[in-house]
Amino acid sequence: MTRFGSAAILLSFALITLTETAPAQTALDELVDREPISFSAEACSAAVGGWSPWSSKAENIKENGCGRRRRTRPVKDNDMARNCGLHGVEQKEDCSKLTKKEKLVSLQYYFVNDVFGRSGIIRRHKRSLFDPSIFFRGDLPAITDTDRCPEDVAQRPVDFLAMVDKSGGMSRRHFRLLLRSVGFLVQKGIPQISLDTTRMALMTFANNPTIEFNLKACDNSSCVMEKLDGAVFRGGVTRMATALDAAQTVFTEESGMRSCSRRVILLITDGSGARYEEAMPQQYASNLKGDKGVEIFAIGVTDLINENELAGIVSTPTLTHLYYMDTVRQTRRIFKRIKPAQSNDDDGA
């Protein structure tokens, strides 16, 4: 190639490069000449409105299952808000565990008051923290004898079974603390235990379930407290499916179940049953809820529990039937602070 040919090729490349870069350079010049965007504090503040007050943590328990709070704000200028780094119109705090007070309030309201606070027996009170309109009772017994059975479930007498875990994960002392927790419920939460009002039974379970007393064994609270003191710690593995299967024998006429009662179980456990059994506990819980019309509540103690398993056992909605306690001692302290059951109805009294 001659010297003149090489020079011609280089000149062609130069012209092509200048042609391609000219638009980009023009755009860059326009950006440089443009008036700079103001990022002053005043301009950024004007782009968004003010934050609303934080929502109540307690009000969000029913929605989120924990003490989450949130607040919102309006955005007036999206571009400016984006340039100022003001992203989002909603803020949420990290979903933290419920405080002991929040656990107590939820347990008091959704379990003690709703199950045992029957109008006509207990004085009604004003709704203070939760809105009972969000509570929908699930898995309740089908009533056919309308002449004998009140249409309002809250008016029916309660047949109540407490199921307490006594497996090896629970020390003898912790087992006694859980029984004492049930005792606080009997002494403070349940207005009256008798064969005409609330009937109560107790089952303890590990390798095998033990029905300590059935629904027709006690006609007063003193009898129940005496039998709670007499329950013996055994140890072993948590066979929850076996226990729930045996619970069906408690809810029979022979064991004292009434045809028109509201049937309730409170299951207290610190472990998972699925690891030790072929059958799933959820299967037997479904039988209780479907065939016997039993409403199941559960308290999971410590972080050894299987949350998915317990969620499949309890009645719906899960958030009002399933509770978590950090330790056995915390369970006892919270039950100790339970107040006498009251009706959740809001009549303005």
d(CA 67, CA 65): 7
**Which two three-digit tokens encode residue 52?**
């609303």
d(CA 336, CA 185): 8
* Residue 82 exposure: Cα atoms within 13 Å on the Cβ side: 3
The predicted pLDDT at position 103 comes to: 80
Beta bridge partners of 200: 160
Beta bridge partners of 300: 269, 324
Beta bridge partners of 158: 262
pLDDT at 2 over 50: yes
d(CA 33, CA 41): 24
Which residues, 6 or more positions from 155, have their beta carbon under 8 angstroms from its beta carbon? 118, 119, 120
Task: Provide the pLDDT confidence category of residue 108 given band limits of 50, 70 and 90.
Answer: confident
**Which two three-digit tokens encode residue 247?**
């619970």
80-90 pLDDT, tens per residue?
776 666 655 66
* Residue 129 exposure: Cα atoms within 13 Å on the Cβ side: 16
Q: Verify cis geometry, omega within 30 degrees of 0, for the bond prior to 317.
A: yes
Task: Please give the backbone phi and psi of residue 284, each rounded to the nearest 5 degrees, phi first.
Answer: -75, -30
Between 11 and 141, residue with greater pLDDT: 11
Model's pTM, two decimal places?
Answer: 0.65
222-279 pLDDT, tens per residue?
999 999 999 999 888 889 999 999 999 999 999 999 998 999 999 999 877 656 666 7
289-334 pLDDT, tens per residue?
999 999 999 999 987 788 888 989 999 888 888 888 889 999 999 9
